[in-house]
Chains A and B, each alone.
Chain A
């Protein structure tokens, strides 16, 4: 029981900085799921070395410069957005798709935040 309390305390401490980012708590389910304007998603988003680019036609590509990858070498994906659910279907060159589903918590002209069901969250800033 001590471990459980200790764990809960640690999680609380870990989540504290997130409260100050303006994003919703990725772990704690939000009772009311907001809707976002998908057009705000169009364009180039950057999170550190990770880049994502969303086209209006539902295609996109992503690359991570930390792995010595340039935009022209980016990997493609198709995306769709339904309310706060963002689905990325990453296209494999060998054929096949790797689906990833995220929940958007913030989508503004400058900021994009989403997380998955395992608590992995991302915060992107819009790149001109």
Chain B
């Protein structure tokens, strides 16, 4: 710098300094504080209506350098007002102002170079009528109102340590600012302006005085605004707000409590419309950030705020965020939940906010690394990763749409999607979940009666339920449809029903859409399993392969209901064990219903069956159909009557074997309709040992038979080609006899007489082509075989053999093992005598003379006796009668005949042929009394009579009445004796000469003969 210039500048500066010093001295000398104070006090009432006081007014130079300002000390405005908290409106230690008066007066330009309030307090008050205490500046009310056409230039406006208290009873507002510092600057012209303001305060309080008071307070609030106002309406700018320890309460509801809040945003605001447009707001509540943008508009009349905002958060720690959510908003909806993880939200807030409405908040949530637990819900979830959408509508309901959920609980991996309607109230779940499940983890969710639940499952489950149902685990009130593939399944229900399967597919649905069984169906299931075992205590167990079930059950969750079920079934094989019954079935299918444990029905069809009933009965069959039902009554006399079955059965190729009967019964066809009252045998054909049969008929009183109230009655029709009677007698021996009878020890312990079944009254008509008994073949057996309570009856049974045509009525009963009754009414027609004796050797015993004749005869024989256990006769009980009629018999030429011929003086060439023979005899004990009968041999006619004893002694008389009368007594003991004497019955067959004895004899003969022949039916003559 050149020296002249330097000298010039230094000189100029010195000059200016001198001027300034001079002016200061002049001002100090002319505008002394005392003069200036008097001037202000004098002039103030021209502008202020209230009392005014200041201690001192002085000019400032350096404080407002380079401007000269006015500094007022201890300014006090006093404006007493009834109800106001203080008479002092304003009290300021220092009020420094630097106003360009010349510009104000000359150009209507308010230029505030500097305005500073220091260390003051203001008590602003508005009473209920809207009158305030701070309208203390005088206005010219007479002058016409004019627009504010000043321009303003606030270059520096500030306050320091100013407390402001504001009470507005008209609007029920109380607010206060403590130690407020304010810095403001700006310009205003033509109803527009711009500026910048910084406000900070150590404490801010705001509250309303209505019933639902809003209370806001904070410490250390700092507010910066840099913006503009256009046309007194549109304002825009940037706003930054920092608040510490913010409290926001409405009534008893705490919305915010000791939180730090910061906010920064660009916004625009229409004052007239009360509409704000937030361009990019960053809100931090503690460390949690939200980005917000959008608009909000307040209705000036109703106060309704219409919002359309968008927000987005960072990833928040969910548990902490939940803790921040005001209870006033969320209520106690989440109290029972424990959730954590990281949650990011993005969404909208739109709608109206007023006393009746709250805006709708939507959220697209990304919840990761989450955990979830809910009291009353037995499962905890972890590793939750989900995307879901929330529509929070506090006016109506809050809905959640789960777009994707992936989580774990226990050892289970679950994925799900769906929605939850009304999240904050009823929580209506509509969820579709898939999972790989470890069943024991879910045991507590399942019915309590399911005491064991082991296995794994791949599951897909769609369910609809609500929170109430979920918290109560009221599964029966939910809707669900699931597909499960169980592996290693092992279940025990109610400690009585078990189910095991290594692999089982189940489709389950509840509630049901159809009720095919009318059992109060609640759930249905389609079950397929290659291998399946199940058991029910008291009922039995099953083991199945190739299982396909379509089952319906009633409400399993209702402990007051007994289990009911109905199912169709189809198996490849099925093994079942029930009580003492076990069965193996091939390809069974059908329908089973259990309307309570006591009411069972079964429709069954199967390819084959093998069943065992205890040790006593084995049954097997080919194709079998069965339509059965039971109605269990525990008061039943025995197991069969307790189950009270009724069944319609049709089987082919069956085999029945019981321990009571040695031989199996082969059933080629059985068509039976059975219940406990009757058994209707449509057809039962097959073979039994060597015998074949086709049986039909009815058996009645089955229940009464077991109860001991009545006999088992029935009428049957038996058609057979061949019956082996010997074999049948052997195998049915003693069937059903009383225990006391079976336990009876016979005289000879080796004896085991046939005991007729007791408690049975069966009548069977037989049509048997051929039968074998003892060593005799008999044919064309037609008649009735009856068994009635220990009595076996052959009723007028007709049959033929090689020896004769026969008719037999037989009665066999067994009151005691050593007291057996046998009665025979036996008619042999056209019998060869020799073959008769061969067939029935006992005939020779009771009528030994018969073997002296040859030829055909007619033999009628009624005899009864009691037998010992070895079938020996009890002779003391032997009773009988017989009649023999023969024609053209040949008297065998033996020593006896020769002797008789000689004693009766027959000619040597007399033929030994008898023209006719008609003899009657009775048997009593060991006495066989032969009633007199006449025989004719050649020209000889004789009457024979006498007694024969079973000890082989006899006493016979032959009365020769033609050609001469002579009698011959033949007495047989060890040695036969012959005694010739008088004819005993000389006039027997001469009625005119008969005596009383002879008449009685003939009458008895007639009675015996008629009685014996009374039951004879015409027997068909067998063609050769």
Contacts and interface: CB of A to CB of B under 8 A. Distances in A.
Interface in A81-95: 90, 92-95
A50 interface: yes
A75 interface: yes
A69 B864 contact: no
Contact of B874 (A62, A69, A93, A99): A69
B877 A75 contact: yes
Interface in A1-44: 3, 7
B595 to A, nearest CB: 53
Contacts of A69: 819, 866, 874, 876-877
A97 B1010 CA distance: 12
B922 interface: yes
Contacts of A64: 874, 876-877
Contacts of B862: 92, 94-96
A98 B925 CA distance: 11
B876 A98 contact: no
Contact of B876 (A3, A63, A96, A100): A63
Interface in A52-104: 62-64, 66-69, 73, 75, 90, 92-100
A69 B866 CA distance: 9
Interface in B986-1008: 1004, 1007-1008
Describe B's contact surface by its main secondary structure: strand
A73 B922 contact: no
A73 B877 CA distance: 10
B949 to A, nearest CB: 9
Contacts of B927: 118, 120
Most buried by B among A3, A63, A67, A92: A67
Of B809, B864, B879, B927, the most chain A CB neighbours within 10 A belong to B879
Contact of B864 (A62, A68, A92): A92
Contacts of B811: 93-94
A72 B846 CA distance: 28
A19 to B, nearest CB: 22
B823 A68 contact: no
Given A99-B922, A120-B927, A68 B876 contact: no
B751 to A, nearest CB: 13
Given A92-B881, A98-B924, 14 more contacts: A50-B876, A64-B877, A66-B876, A67-B875, A67-B877, A68-B874, A69-B876, A75-B879, A90-B879, A94-B823, A94-B825, A96-B1008, A96-B1012, A118-B947
Interface size class of A (residues with CB under 8 A): 20 to 34
Contact of B1004 (A94, A99, A120): A99
- State the 8 A-B residue pairs at the shortest beta-carbon distance, nearest first: A64-B876, A67-B874, A94-B823, A118-B947, A67-B876, A98-B922, A96-B1011, A98-B879
Contacts of B1004: 99
Nearest to B1014: A95
Interface residues on B, range: 20 to 34
B866 A67 contact: yes
B747 interface: yes
A23 B216 CA distance: 147
A63 to B, nearest CB: 7
Contacts of A73: 815, 819, 866
A68 B875 CA distance: 11
B864 A100 contact: no
A66 B879 CA distance: 17
Contacts of A118: 927, 947, 955
Interface string B934-964: 0000000000000100000001000000000
22 contacts: A50-B876, A62-B876, A66-B876, A67-B868, A67-B876, A68-B868, A69-B819, A69-B874, A69-B876, A75-B879, A92-B864, A93-B864, A94-B824, A95-B862, A96-B862, A96-B1008, A96-B1012, A98-B922, A98-B923, A98-B924, A100-B924, A118-B947
A8 B954 CA distance: 18
Contacts of B866: 67, 69, 73
Given A66-B876, A68-B747, A90-B924, A95 B1011 contact: yes
Interface of B: 747, 809, 811, 815, 818-819, 821, 823-825, 862, 864, 866, 868, 874-877, 879-881, 922-924, 927, 947, 955, 977, 1004, 1007-1008, 1011-1012
B817 to A, nearest CB: 10
A63 B1004 CA distance: 25
B749 to A, nearest CB: 15
A69 B593 CA distance: 58
A98 B874 contact: no
Given A68-B747, A98-B923, A98-B924, A92 B823 contact: yes
Nearest to A91: B879
Nearest to A101: B1000
B922 A68 contact: no
A97 B1008 CA distance: 8
B809 A94 contact: yes
A60 B489 CA distance: 80
Contacts of A95: 825, 862, 1011
Contacts of B947: 118
A95 B1012 CA distance: 10
A45 B803 CA distance: 46
Nearest to B877: A75
Contacts of A63: 876
A118 B972 CA distance: 13
B821 A93 contact: yes
Tell me which of B825, B875, B877, B924 has the highest count of chain A C-beta atoms within 10 A of its own C-beta: B877
A118 B925 CA distance: 14
A99 B881 CA distance: 10
Contacts of A68: 747, 818-819, 868, 874
B998 to A, nearest CB: 13
A97 B1003 CA distance: 13
A92 B866 CA distance: 12
A99 B1007 CA distance: 11
B824 to A, nearest CB: 8
Interface in A104-118: 118
A117 to B, nearest CB: 9
B826 to A, nearest CB: 10
Nearest to B809: A94
A92 B924 contact: no
A98 B811 CA distance: 18
Contacts of B875: 67
A57 B268 CA distance: 139
A7 B976 CA distance: 12
B823 A93 contact: yes
Contacts of B815: 73
B514 to A, nearest CB: 67
B212 to A, nearest CB: 108
A90 B877 CA distance: 10
Contacts of B1012: 96
Contacts of A3: 977
Contacts of B880: 92, 98
A96 B881 contact: yes
Contacts of A75: 877, 879
A69 B818 CA distance: 9
Contacts of B868: 67-68
A69 B879 CA distance: 15
A71 B302 CA distance: 121
Nearest to A90: B879
A7 B875 CA distance: 29
Nearest to A51: B876
A73 B876 CA distance: 12
Instruction: Please indicate which of the listed interface residues B809, B876, B955, B1012 has the most CB atoms of chain A within 10 Å of its own CB.
Output: B876
A7 B879 contact: no
Nearest to A4: B979
Contacts of B922: 98-99
B876 to A, nearest CB: 3
Contacts of B977: 3, 7
Contacts of A96: 862, 881, 1008, 1011-1012
A119 B955 CA distance: 10
A95 B881 CA distance: 11
